[in-house]
Structure 1
Amino acid sequence: MVKRADVAALAGVSPSVVSYVLNGGPRHVSEPTRLNVLAAVKQLGYTPNALAAGLRRGATKTIGMIMPSPVNPYLAELADQIEEQAAELGYSIQISISRNDREQDIGSIRGLLDRQVDGLIVLSTSAFESLQALGRDQVPIVVIDHISERSRVSSVHVNNELESRKAVHYLHQLGHETIACLSGPQEVPTSDERISGWRLAQQESGFSDSDSLIVRAPYTAQGGWDATAELIDMTNLKPTAVFVASDAQAQGLLAALSERGISVPSEMSVISFDGSATSRFTSPPLTVVMQPAQEIVEIALNELLRKIAEPNSEPAHIVMNCQLIERASTAAPAR
């Protein structure tokens, strides 16, 4: 293994000068010396030990963020908010992407933890499960998603079942009875929670909650586009509205319905979950269940800083309320 002393010997400087160059200080290094050290680093393939550096400093002022791929508009907003608000608190963000592959996730998470981040914000339930498999839950963690309250990890999330139920009852108030449900993949817990809310609302109003009205697709615009054929082929059921589990899917659905000449909302009403900024700019603008992204991130970061300062404190599970924003994608069904 190449050591700092090897770089110093090749560059003709002391090991401390190598540290000054790689850490950007604390002492000034002349430009020719800096370039000479960097050339030696490159020639030897030296990789600094970020873990040791973090331990020497005591705190890295860095937060790790683990987010799933593909990134939908809502998750992108969360990530932007995390970076922006963390910077205001004096922290930088290191990002790791979770791809729902346990071995790949574990490798990516190890790389993130080796940088000795002060804490982790996790936007992916599968990544959280990989973290648990690694046995690294001694690192302060906040999950922005619904996890078991028996977990020793804090979480900030919305009540997916309750908020979905409210959205479907809103469609009932408009006069819709047969309402399809476009949800996410089976392996994503929020998918089932949002289906459960749709099902409860349909049962409470005495309308069909047949599995034939449920379509699953990835939480992407392409997923929504591809699911459209299955939704409009429900000829016997004839839904007049669709509850969609994410804005990304709804965007693909709207585009596909438009291409097929199906008018929204006069022929099909569409309501979606998330309320990302892009939902205002679809055609027509989407009626949404809006998750309070800014407030969720603010609370998640405050909770993470609390856990960093008090690592033995009890975890908190904080449930946020959503807001239904009525726009032009929903209306009373045609009679």
Structure 2
Amino acid sequence: MVTAPTTLRDIAQACGVSVSTVSRALANNPAIAKKTRESIQSLAKELDYRPNAQARALKSSRTDAIGVVIPSLINPFFAAMAAAIEDEANQAGYATIITSSGENTPKMEEAIEALRARQVDGILAVPHSDSAEMLEHVARSTPLLFVDRYIEGSNIPAVVSNSAPGLKAALQALAERGHRKVGYLAGPQTTSTGLERLKEFRSFSEELGLEYIIHHGGYLHEEGFLGTQKLLAQKPTAIIAGDSMMTFGALEALYREHVDIGKQIALVGFDDFVFMRIQPAPVSIIDQSVEEMGRIALRNLVASFGGKSPPQSAVVETRFIPRESIDFSP
């Protein structure tokens, strides 16, 4: 048999006090005597009292919920980001509603509108350029902060990584080992990360006097697999993958072609996940500190609630982690 949830009135009747006294005691208001507060709080716990979140939201015009829109729930980078955001939100007293856009403009718009219909207090979103106009409109009425990417020309703040330090250090490490021809698996040029990383790869390669070949792909395992096969036909001595999903694809392609990583070719990937470290030749990584990025984004969004200013932008620096996958010297 299902019993009705305990209410403030139930606790008030059991304690012989008013509902307002119970409410203030549960809020730990010092206007209520300490002994009375402790007695009411103890009884509330005994009766398994749970605050009515919906009623509280109506009273405060807040829902204590934050919306999160990421491109994919199966991409480990975005899954790790969402987990870090959720954990940080829980510590701050907020629930999270996490959804995915599939890098698809109509789906992005549906996800954003669904979150707004639930009256979330703010939204963290990984954007893509085709959604710029819609997102600008949303930001006029709902606190909105981009994470991982930004949109060129947009006024919406963003928490992003700076891939330049990690990418430059990776190319320098390859050049020091004698590599002169490097293949690059580029991300989609409709995203700030894809654009910036390709620009930096070209610039640093030219600065170091390296020949380079590029596969224009997307942030998908399949693109890393097919792109690596195409790059191998042009005989690079090293390959850099522009994100974690393409790194997984590159690994599969190299294993499929029986290319010995770290002995016949050098490989550099993105994002330091455990599966990168347990390969026969642990993969050298350009690490974006995705958990830190997610936590900073959540804190910056929450800090803007109730204020007149939008959330603050931030930049997280990347770092290069060399491992056995670049031991090969041509």
- Provide the TM-score with structure 2 as the length reference: 0.78
**1:319 aligned to 2:322?**
no
**Deviations 1:33-81 (CA, angstroms, capped at 9, x unpaired):** xxxxxxxxxxxxxxxxx99984444211101000003642111111111
**Deviations 1:122-158 (CA, angstroms, capped at 9, x unpaired):** 1233586264254444311221124258644321111
Give the number of equivalent residue pairs: 286
Q: Name the residue aligned to 1:62.
A: 65
The residue identity in structure 1 corresponding to 2:265 is: M
Picking from 154, 159, 164, the partner of 1:156 is 159
Matches within 5 A, 1:137-286: 137-147=140-150, 151-209=154-212, 213-234=213-234, 238-286=235-283
**1:81 aligned to 2:77?**
no
The residue identity in structure 2 corresponding to 1:138 is: S
CA contact (8 A) 2:122 2:143 kept: yes
The residue identity in structure 2 corresponding to 1:220 is: L
The Cα shift of 1:299 comes to 1.5
Q: Name the residue aligned to 2:286.
A: 289
**Deviations 1:262-288 (CA, angstroms, capped at 9, x unpaired):** 110111100012223332233422100
The Cα shift of 1:220 comes to 2.5
Q: Distance in 2 between matches of 1:198 and 1:88?
A: 38
CA contact (8 A) 1:96 1:112 kept: no
Q: Distance in 2 between matches of 1:52 and 1:26?
A: 12
**Deviations 1:253-311 (CA, angstroms, capped at 9, x unpaired):** 1122112111101111000122233322334221001111222222212111111132x
The Cα shift of 1:230 comes to 0.5
The Cα shift of 1:215 comes to 0.5
Q: Name the residue aligned to 2:43.
A: none
The residue identity in structure 1 corresponding to 2:327 is: A
Matched residue of 1:168: which SS? helix
Per the alignment, do residues 283 and 26 of structure 1 end up closer, same or farther by CA in structure 2, a change over 3 Å counting? farther
CA contact (8 A) 2:109 2:131 kept: no
Between the aligned residues of both structures, percent identity stands at 27
CA contact (8 A) 2:128 2:151 kept: no
Q: Distance in 1 between matches of 2:218 and 2:176?
A: 29
Q: Distance in 2 between matches of 1:275 and 1:161?
A: 17
Per the alignment, do residues 313 and 252 of structure 1 end up closer, same or farther by CA in structure 2, a change over 3 Å counting? same
Q: Distance in 2 between matches of 1:284 and 1:71?
A: 25
Matches within 5 A, 1:70-149: 71-126=74-129, 129=132, 131-132=134-135, 134-147=137-150
Matched residue of 1:228: which SS? helix
Matched residue of 2:108: which SS? helix
Picking from 320, 329, 332, the partner of 2:325 is 329
- Provide the TM-score with structure 1 as the length reference: 0.76
CA contact (8 A) 2:57 2:64 kept: no
Q: Name the residue aligned to 1:42.
A: none
The residue identity in structure 2 corresponding to 1:221 is: H
The Cα shift of 1:169 comes to 2.0
CA contact (8 A) 1:276 1:290 kept: no
Matched residue of 1:308: which SS? coil
RMSD: 2.8
Per the alignment, do residues 126 and 80 of structure 1 end up closer, same or farther by CA in structure 2, a change over 3 Å counting? farther
Q: Distance in 2 between matches of 1:263 and 1:115?
A: 52
